Amino acid sequence: MYFQETVGLEGHLIDSDILKRAFDSIVANKGEFEVEDFRIGRTNQEPSRIRISVKAGSQEDLDAILALLQELGASASLKDCSFEPAPKDSLLPDNFYSTTNYDTSIRVKGAWHDVQNLRMDSVIVWDGSKAACRKLAMVKKNDSVVVGHDGIRVKPLERSRDFSVFDFMSNSITAEANKEILIRQIAKEIKSIKSRGGKIAVVAGPAVIHSSADASLKRMIENGFVDALLTGNAFAVHDMEKSLFGTSLGVCQASGSVVQGGHRNHLRAINAINKCGSIENAVKTGVLKSGVMHACVKNNVKFVLAGSIRDDGPLADVITDSIEAQKKYIDALEGIELVIMAASTLHSIATGNLLKASVKTICVDINEAVPIKLSNRGSKQAIGIVTDVAFFFRALADALLYAKRV
């Protein structure tokens, strides 16, 4: 005895690996398939279409397969999606649907609605007219939460055939490539995004300051290439310690030697800024005269400083509650098309968790582990570069600003 259903798929089925993943899903779940009809796109542009008959030994196995095929865009189910109310604030009905980071639609009374603010490992809430993505902590009592698998359609990211650097370098992480070429191609992509009014975010860790990458990042900010800066307490403190006292963690940034009593400068910087009330006030009152944070204030670049248990101080601008900080990150990432993540494991992974799969990401770290971790999250638009951030930002700023040298 067996259970059977026929499903259809359409799109760039081969280029985008959809067909391969469909076959894998069927076989991995102990199913069998037969191809009833297949029309491959005859040219680069034309989409392909397939109709597959799927067989499995139990209704359960078949349902598991159909759920996976549906996530690949298969048009099997024509039911509406189901809702249940959240029993409490921050609590979900048992059978909640957990999102991926791919574009998703839900079917309500026969009509398909795109889910807004999509990100992974969240739930979908329907307010009677719109579907939106919510993190668990942001769900309110009685919100209509999508449950089960009916009436949900996920659109896998299709790989374009006009090879950008994000297509051919995606998920290849190597320390040995010619990174200058790669960085010039990233510069081209950034310019193209900015020229059509798109937005760029930078996520940066404190090593950006220690390693002297800050000068280049500042040039990028002053020339309009950065729309948002997402980081934490340490980055901002190191930057302002350097501006105020010329040291970074007590090491003189001109001579490289340890300054007597210099380790105190870290706390001194925090105290000096907090005395002004905020970074913005420190700039306005002339206390803070240079550096990356100063450039952000002067150039109206939105910055968010998320607190962590590792922090000294912290600065008055730091959002110490992690749920609140996530909300501010989400706001700042609204409309961002490309994110540069540099030398920060914590904030880079936090940001990766909040992005749709279609947002391009560049993860730069001297250590393979971070780009590997981020690329394991399934984005097709992620480039990992194993290099020194000082090198990366200098080469990137040069490529963005001296077109001729490129």
Q: Which positions from 108 through 167 interact with a second copy, judged by CB under 8 A?
A: 121, 123, 135-137, 161, 163, 165
Shortest spacing between CB 305 and a second copy, in angstroms: 10
**One residue of 113, 134, 199, 266 binding a second copy per CB under 8 A:** 266
Nearer to a second copy by C-beta: 45 or 195?
A: 45
Q: How far is residue 272's CA from residue 261's CA, in Å, rounded to a whole number?
A: 17
Stretch binding a second copy (CB under 8 A), from 96-104, 190-198, 284-292, 397-405? 96-104
Minimal distance in Å, beta carbon 129 to a second copy? 25
Distance of CA 176 to the CA centre of its chain: 25
Contact (CB, 8 A) for 123 and 134: yes
User: Can you say how many angstroms the Cα of residue 269 is from the centroid of all Cα atoms in its chain?
Assistant: 31
Preceding peptide of 371 cis, ω within 30°: no
User: Which position among 4, 261, 289, 335 is part of the footprint of a second copy (CB under 8 A)?
Assistant: 261
30 lies in the binding site for a second copy (CB under 8 A): no
Interaction residues for a second copy, span 301-340 (CB under 8 A): 306-314, 320-326, 329
Minimum CB separation of residue 145 from a second copy in Å reads 11
Q: 101 and 156 in contact (C-beta within 8 Å)?
A: no
Tokens 């993943």 found at = 21
Contact 86, 93 (CB under 8 A): yes
Residues in 194-253 at the binding interface with a second copy, rule: CB under 8 A: 206-207, 210-212, 248, 251, 253
By CB under 8 A, residue 404 contacts a second copy: no
- Region binding a second copy by CB under 8 A among candidate stretches 12-20, 104-112, 290-298, 355-363: 12-20
Among 168, 192, 284, 335, binds a second copy (CB under 8 A): 168
> Cα–Cα distance between 17 and 158 in angstroms, integer?
9
The rounded distance, in Å, linking the Cα atoms of 88 and 145 is: 12
Closest of 120, 125, 137, 118 to residue 85, by C-alpha? 125
